[in-house]
Structure 1
């Protein structure tokens, strides 16, 4: 079917009429902006075919606000080389005329002729709906509905199947219900309706699952055991490295260095204190000299003052002399306490050394015991290893040959099942007291028998009936069965076993022996990596080192056990406090001596000043004394300046030494040493716990339990697989029989699938889209992706919908049915790459079908290979005409 001309008049927005002529047999690209009338033209084509010309529900076809309009549609198309022309008018002066060649049809006859041609139907009353549109509803895509194809296929399903039947012909259905029922009955003995195990199959599956869980639990415990062994190795290495490096001792040495630096800073601080005292003395002396110099000018007025000063200085001197013995006694007491604290530190160092040697002695004893135990275990393990190797040599078997034997045995079982399936089944139900003879055997009552060879049924008083199992399949199965039986017997002889199970058991013993060899070999390597001789050498070295520690312990001086000895840190802290008290007492004594000297000097000075002032009042050489006083003031000022310079330099050295950081270093090193020693103790405790745990686990025989459960699981697996193979074989046979019942459906689907694959491979080279028995696209696969078409994205569903419609069009054309494809603003959700592929598909389909493509995006279709037609330009031409 090729549409040549379309004319509308008084149809919605086309009041003056619009004619679309010279339509091409391939793609016709009609474009225009929104509201330009593209969808109106599509609606006109649909109305021309789907709407009854007498329909009262066609009011929407009239122009807006014009109740007197008579919407008119004229169509000219060619089908089977015949000229068809349809003239249809709605509402006012409604009519329908159809001319086919030289024949004319009118009214409902013309409408039914068109419905028969295109494959759709009219409603009994009311407006035409989607369920009436049939083939055109499938091939004519409205705007925004390209992705919805399921309902359109359902509505056109009868016409599509009719076309398929014309292609493949009618095919009669096949039998086989009795065979299906027999297979279903045998399947029910092993499987439920949903395919789940039942009966012995279910029981064996539960036993197998329990054994699998037990094996998995044992495997987990074995892995935990191995992890503990690894942890023991790493922790032992870490402990030995720590004992070798002894970082706590380095921390103690760092603390001692920091304390020495701090004592140096304290000495500088003490010198600074004494320097400040000397400075104060010089300042006081200078002040006195300056005062003396000032008083030269007022000696007569100050003579009494000097006398009072002298008396006050002498009183202060006497007071200082009385308190001096107390300061000396405090210094002696502090010095005695410092010496006692120093001896306590020495004793604590001696105790710490003794404890260190004792711990080393205990470690060596433990190590010696471990080496002795490992040597004994290594000898036992070596014995077990040799025994396992003997078991392996006695159970050697060719695994490949055993695998081939299992395969042949499975094929033999399958052949026996198939032979029983195709053998002739004779069943009987005789009345009481009646009997027959089958191959000389008396039969009576009810029963059945499978015949693999020809047999004779004798009826007393009547004669005999010959039964010949027929078919080449039976003879071929018998020959296959004999060949497999001979092959299995020969393989059993070659492997020197009585059955497949015996071979499996021999293989299990071989694998168990190999596992034991591997385990004992690994255990021997873990106990004696360098051989049993190396263990003996390590044991001798440990004994020698233990003797050396004993000698060191015996060489240490004895300690009074009744005397309470503080820890080294406490003793050092007490020594530091005693040292500080001694320094403070000595500082106070020094200050006392300084003050005493100052008091004595002040007293002498005051006396001298008073005496001198008294003498000067009478001495003619007074001027000379004043000059000497000036020189003394200058000398003292110079000494004061030098002393202040020294104080500043010493203060800078103290600040640079950062005594507060030195205190922090002492605390940090002390904490580090304590942390390292605590970590050492924790490692030793963890090592002891891990060794005890490993000994307990080793006594449980996890490996032996694992091997026993694995063997049980393997036996259960073999029994389970036998029933599983039978269940799967019956299930497969049932599915195959049922698939035969679906052969007709697949034969109907094949032509459509061919056309569908033709288009799909253009867009997705490695994809496939399957149709169900109702010819609806469903399962979509691409590589490893698998799902339903409805699960794809909106754009992909739109593309799949168009591809499916083109495949339906090819199918209809192949069956001799007319096709016309109308696309209203389709593929608007496609990306550039997918759109390019769809253009190739449309161009290919246009070789067989006429396509009317309406769009408001002409720039996307420039490379379609056709001349676009501007709807706005057509409207202008129509108005001008």
Structure 2
């Protein structure tokens, strides 16, 4: 099959006709950027074949925003030496025509013929879907779907298998497969599809496991019963040992240890009190020593403060000698700064004058531009007012014209209906003879339509009265007269004489509306915010110009001594830096002078304070009293330490920690013995009750019954295990035989797959399953075979394998004498450059046997295919 030409009109973005001619028998590459119409052409081809011409579910074919359009597609292709011409239109004008070398088919008959030829189905109602597309759905790859092959192959597999000459359905219906079905049914009684037990088999498995668990529980219960009997005897023996109440002796020993510990705690409290007295004594000694050391330090500090006072007075004299030089430097820097500041102000005024002159020139230019825009906007505004007045005078819009057309069409239909039921009077008179029909003389031969009663006068004979039709003709006449009155009323309402004049007036209104829209756009461009806003801008700009002229008049003219503002600013910055340095020096001097003066005052005050303290009355007496007190405190410390040593030895000999442990040990032992006796009594009572209950349950008899049931279920389970295993083995053998037959059926397809695959991966194999779906890719990498499932391959690799599979299917169809056409919409976009180069070799090889339409927005990737690309822009420009 070779597609020769394609023409679309009123289809999506192609409102005007677009035609593709002279398509080649091999690869045809269509290039263009996104939104240039490539996918629209693909959709047009799909619609021509897949969509019923009567379908109301193809609104997506209409141009955007135009619900009144009737999309149409015409294409021509050659098949078996004949030229096939298909013309199909949708929605508003539903039609399908097929010309096969002069043989014409129309409507459903034409569509069924195409579906039978290409191997697809037409939808019963609604839009066509993937499940209807069959072989074309497999060979025509939509954008972004190259890697998806499972679903389209599922819809085309029946057709492909029929091409092979035998299908898996025929194999399954043979006697061998009937046996497989019987074995599967018998196996299904025992096992699920995943091999898990079901039905009686699952029930006996469950019962076997439950009985085994019950048997284990019975054994455990018997063992527990025996253990509890032994435990009861042990508890009774221990209860006899508890009769003397041994825990009371341990409680008496704990009481004695507690009394001894209380005595030792009294010694510890006395020891803690003497420790506090010792700390107080040593603290007072430390305070006395610190006071005596303070008196000694005051004498040393007095000599040090006298030296510091002399040094501070000398530093103050040195600072006061520097005052005059620092003040002179600051005055000179201030004068230089003021002079530089005045110079800069003058330079800035001159610079401002120059800037204002530039602003004045810019304002003149802007004012001239605003004048032009304002004049243009006023002219456009006047034209718009005129057009809008004409538009108001012409009420014939599209809705009114539609009403007129509808009324005219209704009037025409009534006239046709009236003529169809009118009485026809045919006459053929002899020469020189005539008759009179109403007010008309009839001679010769002719025909008249009679719509109402009329008299026929025959000279020399008499008069005939003809009453045409009946109630229908009269009703039609009344309806026609009402329609004619309504049409005349509409003509009068819209102030026109005919439908043609109304259409002319409607076209004039549409042209006026277009002029108004274009004028509004131009006015919006010239005056986005309106003519008044332009006028306000003009007034504001004139005010700004006047303000600039006034400011210029107040600024001085530059002279020969004028310097630029940058130079003046640099001079001012230097003067400011010098003034800043002088001020910082003066500030540092004042700070240092103040600090020196403060140092003299502080040194004088410190020396005087120490002098007064050293010469204070009673100073020597205070020192003597502190020394005597220190001696007394040292004697007190010795007494306390000897007392504490003796008591510490006494406490250590008593060992209070061991006494505390004895209390805990004896008390815990008594509590534990008493608690154990109490718990043994409770356990003994409970155990006696349990043993009485267990002894009444006949554990041994129940265990024997469970053992008999377990043995029976084990035998039954073994029988079903053997049957399930046998059925599974038989089913596996039968399926293996059928798979061998399937592989022989798949051989032609495998041969085509291997042919293409060698161009991509030498020595590689791509296996297919019984549904002809790619299953596993086997290839050599670094000397080792690598096995990869199709679904586990990368996105790009799956896309490449999907295309290779489709080309193999196409070869299979061609060998079987079936038509093929391959459409690739932006395919292989996920292939890396080396892999893409190999895929192009594969496509070029396939193009020797099939026509391929390749649509792409990456023309650089496909320039080495040996064909000239067809540019979408050139197609649109040509049409």
Task: Return the TM-score normalized by structure 2.
Answer: 0.37
Task: Return the TM-score normalized by structure 1.
Answer: 0.37
